Structure 1
């Protein structure tokens, strides 16, 4: 008797790297993101959006989330069958959480700081901050792959 096998989707891919909390570490996070996503066969549009999101989140980890002697961690999780990429950047400053823009703030009312998170919000489906005990936080962004990028 012949049985049809269920369609097996492509496996989820993941990457994690601890990086120094320096400008060089932030740049390396961006470059590693592109290298990994391209090696996984991710669509170019998704890889380009992810590059910008990682650049911003890594820069924030270096500028606002670092403590002397501690680095930050970049984690990428890509599931082609779910058509989603999750970007996590974990730093050591849980006491400094990024703030979303106040409700009703127009584009002409951009604050002096925090504009990069507007970019993250525009490129990602959503982003959030998750406590990372004992003293850190993870900023997570999820990017979907539109049907046109498949």
Structure 2
């Protein structure tokens, strides 16, 4: 899918340890930053962003971990497009996420389906080292975020 975001007006970036704790912290930081930008905690946009951040961070920790390398969370908001972009980058470019047919017996493997359902677009971008998995959410009409 192609990205819809233009030049962002607001940005946030944080490197985190590639641990379960780092993944949990990514979700909390995303919710906190969105609150600071005026997106109320508990709103549909905040909740969707938190879930997507949690899934992408968990995947980075589980499948993208390289010893000695952190993962990065980036949030970007483009007011003109009313689009919030969530990016999670890790050092494993050889493990590109793909949607797989659902396995009703499996205990995992549904996370990207949740990302696909919640986001207006998502994809993977190669980097010099590793990859960035991104998802975009559209802010509802009616106010800055509401």
| TM-score between both structures, scaled by the size of structure 1 | 0.82
1:28 aligned partner: 25
Matches of 1:111 and 1:124, distance apart in 2: 25
Cα deviation for residue 147 of structure 1 reads: 2.0
Matches of 2:124 and 2:63, distance apart in 1: 14
Matches of 1:101 and 1:126, distance apart in 2: 17
Matches of 1:74 and 1:25, distance apart in 2: 10
Cα deviation for residue 146 of structure 1 reads: 2.2
> Superposition RMSD on alpha carbons, in Å?
1.8
Point out the structure with max Rg over C-alpha: 1
Please state whether the residue corresponding to 1:133 is helix, strand or coil.
Answer: coil
Matches of 1:111 and 1:37, distance apart in 2: 36
Q: Deviations over 1:1-54 (max 9, x none)?
A: xxxxxxxxxx81100000000001001100000000000002522111000000
Number of residues of Structure 1 aligned to a counterpart in Structure 2? 134
Please state whether the residue corresponding to 2:95 is helix, strand or coil.
Answer: coil
2:58 aligned partner: 59
Matches of 1:18 and 1:99, distance apart in 2: 24
Please state whether the residue corresponding to 1:73 is helix, strand or coil.
Answer: strand
Q: Structure 2: which 5+ residue stretches go unaligned?
A: 1-7
1:126 aligned partner: 121
Cα deviation for residue 80 of structure 1 reads: 3.1
Q: Structure 1: which 5+ residue stretches go unaligned?
A: 1-10
Cα deviation for residue 101 of structure 1 reads: 3.4
Name whichever structure is richer in helix by fraction: 1
